[in-house]
Chains A and B, each alone.
Chain A
């Protein structure tokens, strides 16, 4: 089946609505919760970075290669951003692209041995190589700060105070500037990811998942495409990492450990990976569960473990399989009968 390769999403209004809601979120939160709204805005900011991360992970899985070092790639972006901003005072519009390029280079090095393996060995091979990178962070005190990590990462600024284009992201009390910066970068990344998903590259990656031998025979270099997707996914993971490094202001190797990786897998598995909307649903629903279970902090891994197991056993397609069902249900409700 040929996919329409149009520039924009066919049904654009859900995406447009979501973006508009996000754009007015600071004002909405302020009216609803007053000063507590800022805390909720931080959550929304982390949510945006997580959406970019989950969506890049979903891109990675379109070839059928699930990795266990995606958080490490994100950490690579975060560390590069932090080092450049902290030690060299590089402005954010340079740190974010440079971090992305560095992460792509590291992804390439990791992907070289991994491209020799498929399926399960790829999965745990990526785990071991990711741990290798993490050991380097823990071991080297300069520039990675050892196991205590880097703190006091300066907040980004655009221009000097007094310039007409001056934007200050550094205020601790009013973080709406930082929030808008995050939103712009996240929307940019998500649109690019959507375009990649529907491009010829996206089709090639999906066809590798369906039948890699057939791909070889029609002239798709499978190894090269698998290395390419690893680097592309690393690029977007690095964007998410840069966003989080600026938000948190401090990072250490434990931020990018195995447990966080398992949570990323939970988001993607619960949402589903077949369509673009799966990871969005997954991150949204799991963030909601995460916030609701705040009172039972110590039982949280147990709850998420049960969610992961039951999702894999009872709903292997993820929550996204409910979208066509619900739309069909509502269409039937209003009378336009649709034959499935």
Chain B
């Protein structure tokens, strides 16, 4: 245990931070627009992983195509959530949040009925081997997460600042009533936000499918971490979510390497409690929720 494993740990932390960012950004963007809080974000992540299992392992599609396909599939589930749960309970954050807990149950039961709960599904690794850069040994499979996350977050930034619909989405997040007065359709924007949210969770799950064991209850751990990340970052702030994701990634990796993974989770939660005491709005948030 010395400085020689420091580059390795930093590399692992960057990979972990990227996957946290991917999951948490989806949660933050849905919360920003009309406060749609999704309890079963982890189950969307799980469905994304099952997309890769079904399309890549069972149907034999190329891995890249399966990952790309997971975006629209899980985005569609997000839109269904919006239509059936968030739209009827609009204005009541907790009601929507608790109803999605029920939706998470439904997804878990359906997936385990279709594909069974017994053995964890193993997805063979499409990119074997690993990098040997600067004394670090990270498998290509994990390393691929970083550029995909950068590309997707950059794409989201481009969409939100340059594209007309994206600007409308930000306007809705800022002031729903004023944006409706400008002719923006609120229902369309909430559906769009949930589609992006689901898509990000789905791609996150799809990329993690070859690395972790795929089972119907795999989303739970990632959901907890995503909640901690959005609280630390500031509920609806996307830059805050990315920043907090990397902080949490570093905390978890370093504590896991030098002590134990459960202690890593515990210190992450303590960090959240300290942020709540010192700055209840989160690191980059400005709205107290």
A-B interaction: yes
Pair B224/A302 contact, Cβ less than 8 Å: no
Is there a chain B Cβ closer than 8 Å to A329's Cβ? no
A113 to B35, CA, bound (A): 23
Pair B289/A120 contact, Cβ less than 8 Å: yes
Q: What residues of chain B lie closer than 8 Å to A128, measured between beta carbons? A: 224, 227-228, 231, 269, 272-273
Is there a chain A Cβ closer than 8 Å to B255's Cβ? no
A121 to B237, CA, bound (A): 14
| Range for the number of chain A residues in contact with chain B | 35 or more
Is there a chain B Cβ closer than 8 Å to A316's Cβ? yes
Q: What residues of chain B lie closer than 8 Å to A131, measured between beta carbons? A: 224, 265, 269
Pair B104/A121 contact, Cβ less than 8 Å: no
Q: What residues of chain B lie closer than 8 Å to A222, measured between beta carbons? A: none
Which residues of B in the span 212-235 have a Cβ within 8 Å of any Cβ on A?
A: 220, 224, 227-228, 231, 235
CB distance from B212 to the nearest CB of A (A): 19
> For residue B235, which residue of chain A has the nearest CB?
A121
Contact with B along A135-157 (1 / 0, CB 8 A): 11011000000000000000000
Which residues of A in the span 214-262 have a Cβ within 8 Å of any Cβ on B?
A: 258, 262
Pair A316/B95 contact, Cβ less than 8 Å: yes
Pair B102/A306 contact, Cβ less than 8 Å: yes
CB distance from B104 to the nearest CB of A (A): 7
Pair B228/A299 contact, Cβ less than 8 Å: no
Pair A313/B106 contact, Cβ less than 8 Å: no
> Which of B51-59, B82-90, B187-195 makes up part of the contact surface?
B82-90
Contact with A along B67-96 (1 / 0, CB 8 A): 000000000000000001100110011111
Pair A313/B105 contact, Cβ less than 8 Å: no
A136 to B227, CA, bound (A): 20
A136 to B260, CA, bound (A): 13
Is there a chain B Cβ closer than 8 Å to A269's Cβ? yes
Pair B95/A312 contact, Cβ less than 8 Å: yes
Is there a chain A Cβ closer than 8 Å to B45's Cβ? no
> Which of B109-117, B130-138, B142-150 makes up part of the contact surface?
B109-117
Query: Among the listed B37, B99, B220, which residue makes an inter-chain contact with A258, where contact means beta carbons less than 8 Å apart?
Result: B220
Q: What residues of chain B lie closer than 8 Å to A136, measured between beta carbons? A: 266
Asked, given contacts A135-B265, A139-B262, A313-B88, whether A305 binds B94 with beta carbons under 8 Å apart, the answer is no
Q: What residues of chain B lie closer than 8 Å to A258, measured between beta carbons? A: 220
Asked, given contacts A132-B266, A132-B270, A135-B262, whether A262 binds B94 with beta carbons under 8 Å apart, the answer is no
Q: What residues of chain A lie closer than 8 Å to B93, measured between beta carbons? A: 119-120
Is there a chain A Cβ closer than 8 Å to B108's Cβ? yes
**Total number of B residues with any Cβ neighbor in A under 8 Å:** 46
> For residue A119, which residue of chain B has the nearest CB?
B289
Query: Among the listed B92, B97, B106, B276, which residue makes an inter-chain contact with A114, where contact means beta carbons less than 8 Å apart?
Result: B276
Asked, given contacts A312-B95, A313-B89, whether A305 binds B103 with beta carbons under 8 Å apart, the answer is yes
Q: What residues of chain B lie closer than 8 Å to A29, measured between beta carbons? A: none
A131 to B223, CA, bound (A): 12
Pair B276/A312 contact, Cβ less than 8 Å: no
Query: Among the listed B35, B84, B85, B101, which residue makes an inter-chain contact with A120, where contact means beta carbons less than 8 Å apart?
Result: B35
Pair B273/A113 contact, Cβ less than 8 Å: yes
Is there a chain B Cβ closer than 8 Å to A116's Cβ? yes
Pair A308/B276 contact, Cβ less than 8 Å: no
CB distance from A252 to the nearest CB of B (A): 15
CB distance from A322 to the nearest CB of B (A): 19
Is there a chain B Cβ closer than 8 Å to A108's Cβ? no
Is there a chain B Cβ closer than 8 Å to A125's Cβ? yes
Is there a chain B Cβ closer than 8 Å to A265's Cβ? yes
Can you spell out 22 A-B residue pairs with CB atoms less than 8 angstroms apart? A116-B276, A116-B277, A117-B276, A118-B289, A119-B93, A119-B289, A120-B35, A121-B231, A125-B272, A129-B273, A131-B265, A135-B266, A269-B98, A302-B105, A304-B102, A305-B103, A305-B104, A307-B102, A308-B101, A313-B89, A316-B89, A316-B95
Name A residues whose Cβ lies closer than 8 Å to a Cβ of B. 66, 112-114, 116-121, 123-125, 127-129, 131-132, 135-136, 138-139, 258, 262, 265-266, 269, 298-299, 301-302, 304-309, 312-313, 316
Which 8 pairs between the two chains have the least Cβ-Cβ distance? Answer: A308-B102, A305-B105, A305-B102, A301-B105, A302-B109, A132-B269, A305-B106, A113-B273
Given contacts A125-B231, A128-B272, A132-B266, 4 further A-B contacts (CB under 8 A): A139-B260, A258-B220, A301-B105, A312-B98
